[in-house]
Amino acid sequence: MYVQRRFPFKSVLIWTKREIIFFTLFVTLVTVLYEILDLKWLQIPFAPIGLIGTAVAFMVGFQNNAAYDRIWEARKIWGGIVNTSRTLIITVKDSFYMHRTEALAEEPEELKIITNRHIAWLTALRYAMRSPKEWESVYQKEGKKIQFEYNIPERKTSLEEEMKPYLSNEEFDYVMSKGNKPNAIINLQSKHLRKLTNEKKLWDFSLLNLQKILQELTALQGKSERIKNFPYPKQYGSIGYHFVHIFMWLLPLAIIPAFEKMGANVSVTHSWIGNIFVWFNIPFTVIVIWVFNTMLRIGLAGENPFEGSPNDVPISNISRGITRDILEIINEDPTTIPEPFENINHIQM
């Protein structure tokens, strides 16, 4: 999770409290059937379970590594958007013909139009990344009670509300008529830069550099869209999920007889402890199952880094940070620069 302070172990327990309760009840039930109702046939050798556990650990480890790679790639992409956005505005600002009086007079207005249009691009892109997909877990759980609150700006205001202040009416209507709105805004930027160059308000050589920057932004947008629109292959995610659950269901059947045998050895010197020793398997088994299940959940939570979960890449905060940076570059009035988003429960989105 992208939090502003160290993530406490207590929060992990809260995150998985339902599973902990279920595991405890399940293991207790199996122990009661084995010990109280004397269903001694509810057991299997420990060796096969050990082999299954090893295979499951490798599978879950692979899934977690793959999920982390998706998160890290997404973070690098948006890190690139940060740097390229700043470069775009700085380059435009320093590319006007400063010795031409008419260009000097129009520079602030043109620069602000380009800057605002880029903010609209950032806004359209983050809303596109937060759009729900059928394979995303947050989309599937929409409407259900959440365990703790956090702020998702894209769920509280519409794209139209956020983007309209940064575009002219004509441009806004054009962008909203397109399916890929960020791409439409990049197209408007390119046309505007070409127009300024034709009017001799920008250096011809600067247009080449600015077009390269727009190409880089388009490439970063495409990489972000690739992660958003291509889910983690379900044959890996579903196999890992089923393997972990097979292991979880079978584990008590191997651990309970092992604790019973240890209890028989203990009863030689401490009979009363030996008689109840089999019940000590409950916390031990629950801990082992909990560890495997938590590792599985961490992998599942990282599969979709833009879905709107606490484990997301914080694209809303990144976008707002870029907005503040580039408005400061053009010397915008500090009172009109939007404030950073509120991070509820120290979770950045």
The mean pLDDT value for 163-184 works out to 93
State the Cα angle at 293 between 289 and 299, rounded to 5°: 155
Q: In this predicted structure, what is the pLDDT of residue 115?
A: 93
What are 45-55's pLDDT values in tens digits?
888 888 888 88
Residue 170 predicted with pLDDT over 90: yes
Q: Residue 43's pLDDT is what?
A: 85
| Least confidently predicted of 75-89, 153-167, 297-311 | 297-311
pLDDT-derived band of residue 236, with 50, 70 and 90 as boundaries? low
CA–CA dist 27, 279 (Å, integer) = 10
Give the pLDDT confidence score for residue 50 in this predicted structure: 85
pTM of this structure: 0.81
- Give the 3-state DSSP-derived string for 171-188, with helices as H, strands as E and coil as C: HHHHHHCCCCHHHHHHHH
Does the pLDDT at position 206 exceed 90?
no
Q: Quickly count: other Cβ atoms within 10 Å of residue 184's Cβ.
A: 18
pLDDT confidence bin for 346, thresholds 50/70/90: low
pLDDT for res 339: 85
Summarize the confidence of residues 293-308 as an average pLDDT: 80
Q: What pLDDT is attached to residue 11?
A: 66
pLDDT reported for residue 184: 94
Q: Span 182-198, mean pLDDT?
A: 92
> What are 106-135's pLDDT values in tens digits?
678 888 999 999 999 999 999 998 888 777
Predicted confidence at residue 298, as pLDDT, reads 79
Average pLDDT over residues 289-304: 82
Q: Pick the more confident residue, 172 or 200.
A: 172
Instruction: Indicate the average pLDDT of the chain.
Output: 82
Q: Which two tokens stand for residue 126?
A: 């983050």
Render pLDDT for 53-89 as a digit per residue (tens, 0 to 9).
Answer: 888 888 888 888 888 888 899 999 999 999 999 999 9
- Please enumerate in sequence order all residues whose Cβ is within 8 A of that of 285, keeping only pairs 6 or more positions apart, or say none: 23, 27, 251, 252, 255, 256
pLDDT score for 144 = 47
Of 12-16, 56-60, 276-280, the range with the lowest mean pLDDT is 12-16
Nearest to 298 by CA among 53, 5, 70, 27: 70
Predicted confidence at residue 142, as pLDDT, reads: 45
Contact in structure between 192 and 216 (CB atoms under 8 Å): no
93-97, 120-124, 152-156, 271-275: which has the highest mean pLDDT?
Answer: 120-124
**What does the pLDDT read at residue 8?**
56
- Under 8 Å between Cβ of 85 and 182: no
- The letter for the amino acid at 205 is F
